[in-house]
Amino acid sequence: EAGVAQSPRYKIIEKRQSVAFWCNPISGHATLYWYQQILGQGPKLLIQFQNNGVVDDSQLPKDRFSAERLKGVDSTLKIQPAKLEDSAVYLCASSLGIDRVNTEAFFGQGTRLTVV
Amino acid sequence: KQEVTQIPAALSVPEGENLVLNCSFTDSAIYNLQWFRQDPGKGLTSLLLIQSSQREQTSGRLNASLDKSSGRSTLYIAASQPGDSATYLCAVHNYNQGGKLIFGQGTELSVKP
């Protein structure tokens, strides 16, 4: 079975520019997560979708970050305008669901963003 | 609020040694606990998932245990190899927070030949 697909793999932008990341989860997975991982730290959840609804976006900086999951399949995360501190790896993950049996999460390769 | 802590932050061992990585969490209301491996510049690879009703899971040279009541999990790696060098992350799926997956900071493991 195909894994979680993310693009692009790498992106370098100047501060105040905008950037978008794309994620295609494993087929049939209802739950989709976006994480931010700063070098040397564990991943931090930005937003969690269940189908096309938001379950948790409490740590998403909503003044500059936005995310959508139209039709409950693939998802886009956008940053506008970017700041230097947004330099990180952005990870997308998916799982079948959020109940006891279906929560195993699978991750994509990530997008490494450098803001200069 | 769930907090996940991993000790040690870094570990260096000679090849062939058995080792234990530790993970603790503050809220025992979890669906399950998942251990991941992350190689430099790569995404996360799922190693083992332990459901909240289970005590341990094994995969090859890896054995993960879970003591939900005390909020602890360990990942045991037998006969370590240089190829095991990576960062190991544990994460819990929170029951009370919509299955939110919360990570520790990771343990960076280096296995010297």
Q: Are B99 and A106 an interchain contact pair (Cβ–Cβ within 8 Å)?
A: no
Maximum Cα–Cα distance across chain B: 44
The predicted structure's pLDDT at residue A101: 67
- A chain contacts of residue B31, beta-carbon cutoff 8 Å: 98-100, 103
Q: Binning pLDDT at 50, 70 and 90, where does residue B89 land? A: very high
CA B75 to chain CA mean position, Å? 5
Per-residue confidence (pLDDT) for residue A70, from 0 to 100: 82
Query: Across the interface, which of A48, A106, A107 has its CB nearest the CB of B98?
Result: A48
Q: Say if A104 is an interface residue toward chain B (CB within 8 Å).
A: yes
| pLDDT of A100 above 70 | no
* Mean residue pLDDT across chain A: 93
Antiparallel, parallel or unpaired: β A111-115 and A10-13: parallel
The overall average pLDDT reported for chain B is 94
pLDDT, tens digit (0-9, with 9 covering 90-100), for A66-96: 999 988 899 999 999 999 999 999 999 999 8
Tokens of B102: 């919360």
Please name the amino acid found at residue B28: S
- The answer to whether A15 contacts chain B (CB < 8 Å) is no
pLDDT tens track for A19-39? 999 999 999 999 999 999 999
Question: Which chain B residues are closer than 8 Å to A39 by Cβ?
Answer: none
Radius of gyration of chain A (CA): 14
With contacts defined as CB-CB under 8 Å, which chain A residues touch B101? Answer: 33, 45, 48, 93, 103, 105
What distance in Å separates the CA atoms of residue A9 and residue A103, rounded to the nearest whole number?
A: 26
The residue in chain B having the minimum alpha-carbon distance to the alpha carbon of residue A106 is B46
- pLDDT at residue B96, rounded to an integer: 76
Longest C-alpha distance within chain A, in Å?
A: 43
Dihedral of the alpha carbons of B40, B42, B47, B52, in degrees to the nearest 10: 100
B76 close to B90: Cβ distance less than 8 angstroms: no
B14 Cβ partners below 8 Å, 6+ apart? B111, B112
In this prediction, residue B31 carries a pLDDT of: 87
Q: How far is Cα B77 from Cα A41, in angstroms, rounded to an integer?
A: 22
Q: How many CA atoms, within 13 angstroms, populate the side-chain half-sphere of residue A85? A: 3
Residue A101 with chain B: CB contacts under 8 Å:
51
Q: B30 to chain A: nearest residue by CA?
A: A100
Answer positive or negative: Cα dihedral of A37, B62, A27, A3.
Answer: positive
- Residues B14-46 as b or e (16 or more Cβ within 10 Å = b): eeeeebebebbbebeebbbbbbbbbeeeebbee
- Tens-place pLDDT, residues B18-39: 999 999 999 998 889 999 999 9
> Which residues have CB under 8 Å from B99's CB, separation 6+?
A31, A48, A55, A95, A97, A98, A99, A103, B31, B93
- Which of the four pLDDT bands, split at 50, 70 and 90, describes residue B42? confident
- What is the predicted pLDDT for the residue at A72? 84
Tell whether the model's pLDDT for residue A52 goes beyond 90: no
The answer to whether B91 and B66 have CB atoms below 8 angstroms apart is no
